[in-house]
Chains A and B, each alone.
Chain A
Amino acid sequence: MNFDDKLDQAARQLATEITPERDLWPGIEQAIRTPQRRTPWFAQAAAVVLLVGASSGTTYLAVKGDSGPVVSVAPELIFEKAAFGGDYHLGPDFQDARNSLRAQLDTELGRLSPEAQQDIQSNLDVIHAAIIEINTALEEDADNVLLQQKLLRAYREELALLQRVGGLTRNVMMRNDI
Chain B
Amino acid sequence: MEALLTAGGSDYSRGMVNTSHDDVADEETWIRRAQRADAQAFESLYRLHVDRVYGLCLRMTGNVSEAEDCTQEAFILAWNKLAKFRGDSAFSTWLHRISVNAVLGRIRKSKREHDRIQAVADTEGMRIATDDTGELRDLTDAVDRLPEGARHVFVLHAVYGYTHEEAAGMLGIAAGTSKAQMHRARKLLAQQLKEQGFEE
Contact = CB atoms under 8 A, between A and B. Distances in A.
Given A14-B159, A50-B117, A123-B117, A28 B75 contact: yes
Dominant secondary structure of chain B at its interface with chain A:
helix
B20 interface: no
Contacts of A4: 186
A78 B124 CA distance: 24
Nearest to B69: A46
B136 interface: yes
Contacts of B154: 11
User: How many of chain A's residues touch chain B, expressed as a range?
Assistant: 35 or more
Interface stretch (A52-60, A63-71, A88-96): A52-60
User: How many of chain B's residues touch chain A, expressed as a range?
Assistant: 35 or more
Given A15-B130, A17-B15, A48-B113, A146 B72 contact: yes
Interface string A19-40: 1111011011101110010000
B198 A6 contact: yes
Interface stretch (B2-10, B21-29, B43-51, B166-174): B43-51
Contact of A11 (B47, B109, B119, B158): B158
15 contacts: A3-B190, A6-B198, A7-B186, A7-B190, A8-B158, A16-B55, A20-B54, A51-B117, A53-B121, A55-B64, A55-B65, A119-B120, A122-B119, A126-B117, A150-B69
